[in-house]
Amino acid sequence: MNAKQQWLVCFDTDHIKQYLFATNRLKEIRGGSALLSSLDQQRKKEFESRYGEQNIVYSAGGGAAVLVSTEQEARDLIAETERDFHAATITVSITGAYVRADALSGTFGAEMTRASRELRRAKTAKAELSILPIEPYLRLCSSCGQHPAVQQADDGSGDWLCQACYKKRKLGGAKGFFAEFVEWADPTIWTGDTLPKDLDHIGLVSSPPGYVGFIALDGNHIGDLLSEMKTVEGYHEFSTGLWSLTKEQTFTALKKHGRPRNGIAPFEIILIGGDDVLLITAADTAIEVALAIAAGFEQHSPDQVLKPGGLEGEREKLTMAGGVVLAHADFPIPAMHALAEDLQKSAKRLCAEQGYQTGAIDFQVVSGSDTDLDTLREAIPHHRPYTLAQLRKLLKHVRQLKAADLPMSQLQAMYQALFEGEVNAQLASIATLGYLGRSTDKTRYDRLKAFFAEFGVKFDGQLPPWDDELGKRRGQRTSALTDLVELYPFVSAKGGTE
C-alpha cells in the first residue's frame, strides 16, 4: 500500500459556552446558538465542495478535521476560516492547527491525537493574546457587560449592546435546533408559534408553576476511543454516528415529554454537539428527559456508534453523565449552566467508579440564591449522584407514594428531622411509619417501607431513614429520603418512561 502523505487540519471554536451564556436572555442565547449552528453547516458544505467528502474526517459542533494536500493549503485554510468566523460572530474565535499526516498509516487515531495537541497549543497561545483592556470611558454592553456598546437595540428595549449581542438578539427569532426538531418530530404539533418567548414562558406551563429544569449531558471518556481509531473512514463513521445518536435521542425524549402545553413547547434546545447536550425544560419533565436521553444513548451506542467505527471489541457500550438543576425561572441562566456542569462532573465521578458501565445523573433543587454546589449540599445527608437504574427506581417510588396520596406534610416532618441528628431522624421516620401502619389501608405504609428497603435500609439493623450500605462506603450517614422529598414536587404521579 502506498503511503498517502497529507496535511491534517483541525479546527475548534473557542469558548462556545462562554459565548452562549454571556447573557441571561433566552432570546440572545438562542440567537447565539442558531448562529453557531448555521456557521457549522456552512463550513461543512464549503469543506465538502472544496476537498471532497472523503477528505472530511468530521465537521460539526464547532469543530472540524480535514485532509488537504499541501502545507500552503493548510495554512491558507486556517487563515481564511479564522477570519470569516470572527467576522460573523464578532466575539468568538475559531482556532486551527495542522500536522503532516499519513491517512493510510493504520493509526489514524494517533495522528488525530497529535493534531489535537497542536490545536490545544495554538488555542492557549491565542488566549494569552486576546485579553484586551477596555477603556474606562467606554459604555459597556447592557447585556453581556463585557464589550463596549456600539449600537442601540432595535426592539424598543432601549438597551445599548455590543456588536455580538446585537447580532444575537437580532437572530433570537431564528429557530436553530428547534426548527430541526420540528421538522423531525411533527410540524403539525410543534410550530414556530409554540416556541417559548423566554424562561418565564416555560415556567408558566411548568409544574410547580414558575420552575424550570436545566439539563447538561455529556458522553463519558470518548476521547480515549478516538485515539484508538485506525482509519479515516472509521473515525468519520464513529463521529457521525455519535452525532446523530445524540441528536436522535434528544429529539426522541423531547417528542415524548415536550408536547406543547397551552400552545407553548415546554423546552428550549440550547446546544446539541457531538456527545454534548444542553437543554432547558419545564421542571416536571427535566429528570425524565435527562434519563431518557442518557438511557437511549447507552442502549443504541453499540449499533449506531461502536460498530460503524469498528470499535465493538473495545467497549461494550457508551454511557453519559448528566446534571439537572431545578430552579425558578428567574434564576440566572448562566448560573444554572455552571451548576449543571458541576452536577455533571459529580455524576461523571460515579460513572468512573462504575467502570463506565452505566450512565449517572446528579440533580439539585435550588431555592435560594446560592450557586455553589458544596454550599448547597453542606450537611445534607443525600444519596446523589444516581446511576440511571437507581434514579429510575427513585422516580418509581415518588410516583407510587404520590399515587397513594402520601401528604407532603408527613414527608416534610421526616425531612426536617434529617438535619436534627441521627436519632431524631430515626424517631421521625419510625413515628411516620408507625402512624401509617395503624391505618386500615396499609398502602402508604407498604410503599414507604418499600422505598426505604430499596435504598439500603435494613430494618433489623440500622433504623430508617439511614442507608447501611452506602453509609459505610462513604463513611457518613446517607439517606435517599432527602432526594425523594426534594424531587417530590417535580415529578408527576402519572407518566414515566416505563
- Positions touching Zn ion (CB under 5 A) are 141, 143-144, 147, 162, 165
Min separation Cβ 19 and Zn ion, Å: 10
Q: Measure the CA–CA gap between 445 and 179, rounded to whole angstroms.
A: 48
Taking the alpha carbons of 341, 239, 269, 282 in that order, is the dihedral positive or negative? negative
Q: Measure the CA–CA gap between 469 and 295, rounded to whole angstroms.
A: 25
Min separation Cβ 314 and Zn ion, Å: 44
- 380: nearest Cα among 297, 310, 485, 307: 485
- 242: nearest Cα among 203, 272, 268, 201: 272
Q: Which residue, 132 or 379, is less far from Zn ion as judged by CB?
A: 132
Min separation Cβ 85 and Zn ion, Å: 18
Taking the alpha carbons of 450, 456, 460, 464 in that order, is the dihedral positive or negative? negative
Q: Which residue, 140 or 376, is less far from Zn ion as judged by CB?
A: 140
Min separation Cβ 31 and Zn ion, Å: 12
Min separation Cβ 118 and Zn ion, Å: 32
For 304-368, give the DSSP string: IIITTTT-TTT-S---EEEEEEEEETTS-HHHHHHHHHHHHHHHHHHHHHTTTSS-EEEEEE--S
Min separation Cβ 341 and Zn ion, Å: 22
Start-end of H helices in 359-405: 373-377, 388-403
Here the cell at position 66 is 480535514
| Degrees, nearest 5: CA angle 375-367-323 | 70
Q: Which residue, 145 or 208, is less far from Zn ion as judged by CB?
A: 145
- CB of 150 closer than 8 Å to CB of 162: yes
Whole-Å CA distances, 61 to 220, 302, 402, 498:
17, 22, 41, 32
The residue whose grid cell reads 439511614 is: 466
Q: Which residue, 159 or 446, is less far from Zn ion as judged by CB?
A: 159
Kindly give the pairing relationship between strand 360-365 and strand 320-328.
Answer: parallel
Beta strands in 369-440 (DSSP E): 386-387
Here the cell at position 76 is 491558507
Min separation Cβ 145 and Zn ion, Å: 7
Whole-Å CA distances, 343 to 321, 337, 340, 347, 474:
9, 10, 5, 6, 18
H or E stretch including 127? Answer: helix 108-129
- CB of 433 closer than 8 Å to CB of 447: no
Q: Measure the CA–CA gap between 292 and 339, rounded to whole angstroms.
A: 21
- CB of 77 closer than 8 Å to CB of 68: yes
Min separation Cβ 231 and Zn ion, Å: 44
